[in-house]
Structure 1
């Protein structure tokens, strides 16, 4: 099985990559600063260039994408476009392009988070794109080529990266190992169009 993890140096992506490497032989790590498999998900050509370097894939997991953190009254139109270009359209374009490079019955897993439906101060711009990705996954999952599955994992804050005794968006942080197991579930399941929420 050939697996690609995008955002493989981030808090979640790094742990997904190292965990999958222990279980599967062919796991590729892509990120902005990689010398082997660089990718910028805000650039469609960069995404295409990445897939052209790789063999046909069975699984693509994306843990990359950013948005602006500011109080609503301080957000400018350009601030919103940072998240729209990166975490929203970056993931949409990834799906759009990846479907042509995956084997039949492959799977794509995206990443959003708790802010899609729970409030946290200064997170309006991120909440907007997370919610949009959920709607996108529920719709696009019905129309992908070659029986490719499309799901999204929506974690809360990650323990260790965030104080374990402090709530974020109303919930305590989750253990990274629990998060990894949910990503692995998207590889093993036949389900598609699912929003897999990890809040405690």
Structure 2
């Protein structure tokens, strides 16, 4: 199989894009360690992904704390003997006008999205430096293009930092044969929207964004997961430092 025997660590692996990515890695032969803040959600996801309990382990904690990323990497290496791939997927999102943003909002985005990915990537690179590996970050279309309907200055700034980190680490980590790339999704239907809207609001609001994408629909977790798996695979062995929009054509332009 495509990832037979490989070991993958995934942040934000309990739901949405992270969970779908973990599911597809396991289906293609990988062993996976998933991170998230909610241990109950993680354990339920692990059972769903791998009912045997042999191929998925969990490591709970807030990724904004550098110790959490280090613990995830250590859990993967201790249980499965190595680390081949890190998927730095954890993130947060809650649109709010710039004039209403507080320092607490700013810190929430920067700590979770940028600091979390930075130090988890560092921990993974230390584990990979002898034999190489791949790191895939989940960035954002909002870091490339501003959207008036979803004011997101702090969120976008944090993800722009993620994109810049990808390019810098591609150069720094190349001597260790560690590749690093990012996907930049547009509107993807995941549970993140339920963190600031009711179920009924999500049901009413998300379909209004279908037409925002030139291809006529919102993304699904699998759309992004497949791009992540490509970057992690041998087929992408000559690709590093790349930001790939997975956005239904949004950044290409408008009709």
Q: TM-score, normalised by structure 1?
A: 0.89
- Looking at structure 1, the residues matched to 155 and 222 of structure 2 have their Cα atoms a distance apart, in angstroms, of 24
What residue number does 1:179 align with? 224
Runs of 4+ with >6 A deviation: none
- Is 1:153 matched up with 2:183? yes
Residue 25 (structure 2) aligned to one of 20, 24, 28: 20
Tell me, what secondary structure is at the counterpart of 2:34? strand
What residue number does 2:65 align with? 43
What residue number does 2:208 align with? 166
What residue number does 1:140 align with? 169
- Answer whether contact 2:137 2:181 (CA < 8 A) is retained: yes
- Answer whether contact 2:11 2:88 (CA < 8 A) is retained: yes
Residue 143 (structure 2) aligned to one of 116, 133, 150: 116
- Looking at structure 2, the residues matched to 39 and 147 of structure 1 have their Cα atoms a distance apart, in angstroms, of 29
- Answer whether contact 1:88 1:129 (CA < 8 A) is retained: yes
- Looking at structure 2, the residues matched to 71 and 99 of structure 1 have their Cα atoms a distance apart, in angstroms, of 36
Tell me, what secondary structure is at the counterpart of 1:143? helix
Return the index of the structure with the highest Cα Rg.
2
Give the structure with the larger helix fraction: 2
Q: CA deviation at 1:53?
A: 2.2
- Is 1:95 matched up with 2:121? yes
Aligned length: 200
Tell me, what secondary structure is at the counterpart of 1:99? helix
- Looking at structure 2, the residues matched to 100 and 169 of structure 1 have their Cα atoms a distance apart, in angstroms, of 43
Q: TM-score, normalised by structure 2?
A: 0.71
- Answer whether contact 1:99 1:148 (CA < 8 A) is retained: yes
CA RMSD of aligned residues (A): 2.2
Q: CA deviation at 1:164?
A: 6.1
Tell me, what secondary structure is at the counterpart of 1:141? helix
- Looking at structure 2, the residues matched to 73 and 38 of structure 1 have their Cα atoms a distance apart, in angstroms, of 34
Using a 3 Å threshold, how does the CA distance of structure 1 residues 168 and 195 change in structure 2: closer, same or farther? farther
Which ranges of structure 2 fall in alignment gaps of 5 or more residues?
1-5, 44-57, 192-201, 249-255
What residue number does 1:8 align with? 13
- Looking at structure 1, the residues matched to 121 and 190 of structure 2 have their Cα atoms a distance apart, in angstroms, of 30
- Answer whether contact 1:8 1:17 (CA < 8 A) is retained: yes
Using a 3 Å threshold, how does the CA distance of structure 1 residues 175 and 68 change in structure 2: closer, same or farther? closer
